[in-house]
């Protein structure tokens, strides 16, 4: 999903000289992608503390990206951010976090090196720890620490879900799982039988929206353990019309839920106290992304997760944001 076209001129001057007090620089990133054209788009706006929530929402709606991120504070090891979709404010946003911390490093507002540096991310929905490390190629890798999701019994069955995804009920491997992420997102997790089914999904977005709102879910996450790469754990697609994005090319918080589901269902290889889930997402959208989730385990259950990757800067625009 690309941002909507807008009338803001591209700002080629990184120092933004000549900008008025009512203007900010909007920087667009492709998050969870090593190259431009992959992953999920996130916009980053710095020095946004004076903007009202209403104005932030207006800007995010006009930008049209799955997430627009407003940095409202920076100091003493804490970064304050507000995340917005085109429709609503997010309590947390994985791909937005990757974009924000990449921007902070690239703009020399956050010091980072070959050893991980931990920062506190603070949003109106809560706090999280973010680790930033500079890779050997000089690019920042950002990992967001998250609590595990809580599994609940799914209130709908395969037949109903299959009908709104445009597939046969037999393509869904039961049971369905409703993953409840404390303080942020809820996901309906659906496992299907293979890559052919993934490619053939044809969602009725209005029906997906209705179902998500009916059961209190934010997204409908579909995955398969069939992949074309032995280094990849799952292929996934995340349908999010209930929160303003028909389909997301890369979603960190959803992959947190999927990793928990895999570990609890014994579908992920586990080592001594840990497991790593590598997900490919966005392929069917033409925007492939790679999301890595490191799971810390105790007695076979997830206790702590780190979700992350890299983000690629795409463009800058000077945006009027009075």
Residue 9 has pLDDT above 50, yes or no: no
Is the pTM of the predicted complex or chain greater than 0.85?
no
**Largest interatomic CA distance in the chain:** 61
Residue 4 has pLDDT above 50, yes or no: no
Q: Reply yes or no: is the peptide bond before residue 183 cis, omega within 30 of 0.
A: no
Closest among 106, 91, 88 to 28, alpha carbons compared: 106
pLDDT at position 274 is 86
Mean pLDDT of all residues in 73-77: 93
CB–CB of 142/97 below 8 Å? yes
| Measured distance CA(281)–CA(269) in Å, rounded | 20
CB neighbourhood size of 314 (10 A): 18
- Supply the mean pLDDT for the chain: 90
Confidence band of 79 (pLDDT split at 50, 70, 90): very high
Say which residues have a Cβ less than 8 Å from residue 46's Cβ, sequence separation at least 6. 24, 25, 71, 103, 107, 109
Tens digits of per-residue pLDDT, 211-262?
999 999 999 999 999 998 999 999 999 999 999 899 999 999 999 999 999 9
Residue 18 has pLDDT above 60, yes or no: no
Mean pLDDT of all residues in 37-58: 95
Tens digits of per-residue pLDDT, 260-312?
999 999 898 776 788 999 999 999 999 999 999 999 988 888 999 999 999 99
Buried b vs exposed e over 239-264: b needs ≥16 C-beta within 10 Å?
A: bbbbbbbebbbbbbbbbbbbbbbbbb
């Amino acid at each position: 999903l690309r941002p909507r076209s807008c009338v803001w001129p591209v700002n080629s001057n990184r120092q933004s000289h000549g900008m008025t007090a009512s203007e900010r620089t909007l920087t667009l990133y492709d998050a969870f992608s090593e190259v431009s054209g992959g992953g999920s788009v996130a916009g980053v706006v710095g020095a946004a503390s004076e903007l009202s929530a209403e104005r932030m929402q207006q800007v995010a709606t006009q930008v049209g990206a799955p997430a627009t991120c407003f940095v409202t504070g920076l100091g003493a090891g804490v970064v304050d951010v507000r995340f917005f979709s085109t429709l609503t404010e997010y309590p947390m946003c994985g791909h937005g976090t990757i974009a924000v911390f990449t921007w902070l490093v690239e703009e020399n507002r956050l010091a980072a090196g070959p050893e991980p540096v931990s920062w506190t991310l603070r949003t109106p929905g809560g706090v999280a720890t973010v680790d930033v490390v500079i890779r050997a190629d000089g690019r920042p890798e950002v990992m967001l620490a998250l609590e595990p999701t809580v599994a609940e019994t799914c209130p709908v069955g395969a037949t109903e879900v299959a009908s709104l995804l445009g597939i046969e009920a037999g393509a869904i491997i039961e049971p369905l799982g409703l993953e409840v992420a404390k303080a942020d997102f809820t996901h309906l997790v659906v496992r299907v039988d293979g890559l052919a089914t993934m490619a053939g999904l044809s969602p009725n977005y209005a029906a997906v929206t209705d179902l998500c709102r009916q059961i209190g879910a934010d997204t409908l996450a579909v995955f398969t353990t069939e992949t074309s790469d032995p280094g990849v754990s799952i292929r996934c697609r995340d349908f999010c019309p209930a929160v303003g994005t028909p389909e997301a090319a890369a979603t960190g918080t959803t992959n947190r839920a999927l990793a928990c589901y895999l570990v609890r269902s014994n579908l992920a290889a586990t080592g001594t106290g840990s497991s790593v889930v590598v997900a490919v997402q966005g392929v069917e959208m033409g925007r492939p992304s790679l999301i890595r989730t490191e799971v810390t385990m105790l007695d076979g259950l997830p206790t702590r997760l780190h979700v992350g990757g890299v983000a690629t800067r795409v463009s800058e625009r000077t945006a009027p944001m009075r």
